[in-house]
Amino acid sequence: MDIPTLRTPRLLLRPWTPEDADRLIAILHEPNILGYFPRTAPWPSEEADRYIAHHLSHWQERGCGHWAVVTPADGQVVGWNGLEFLPETGETEVAYLLSREVWGHGYATEAARAALQFGFTNCSFDKIIGLTHPENVASRRVLEKCGMALIDRQFYFSIELCRYWVEREEFFSQAKGG
């Protein structure tokens, strides 16, 4: 499968390349970037290579995965965004992580909406979940701006997370303003 490239008004969501590993590691070593993740320690360099390989194969196996999020004006990779199948639960999650240097610009919401639209349109998912740490107010806001509703708190990845979801019909109804 050819991994699609998506364009949003301000971002480019493109397939990962091996050349992106150094930039990914730089982002993951930013102070507190992983503060709400199950694994808060910075990743070793080889972990970026594994992450990229995993998501390239995830695309082939599942028809979805993570994109590199790029700001087109400078071509800089600023994080990740996309959809991931969770085999433990059979759910598909929208996920994102952006460099601190671009926080506060609405990029996470813009990218997450594009991923949701892709998942509902191209993958025919009936619902997509979003997971975030209860104290991560900014991430909770992103999910809510994408039309997702808080359903409950459950343990994923060995920590309790807020579980949001949106169904296809609700997502497109909200997108039309209804």
* Annotated domain spans of the chain: 6-125
Tell me the residue type at 45. S
Tokens of 49: 């290579």
Q: HSE on the CB side for 70, CA within 13 Å?
A: 17
pLDDT digits (tens, 9 = 90+) for 34-63: 777 666 666 777 888 888 998 899 999 999
| Amino acid at residue number 48 | A
**pTM for this structure?**
0.92
3 state SS of 107: helix
61 sits in the region (left: phi over 0; alpha: psi -120 to 50; else beta) called: alpha
pLDDT (tens digit per residue) in 132-166? 999 999 999 999 999 999 999 999 878 899 999 99
**pLDDT tens digits for range 7-17:** 999 999 999 99
Looking at the domain covering 6-125, what would its CATH class be?
Answer: alpha beta
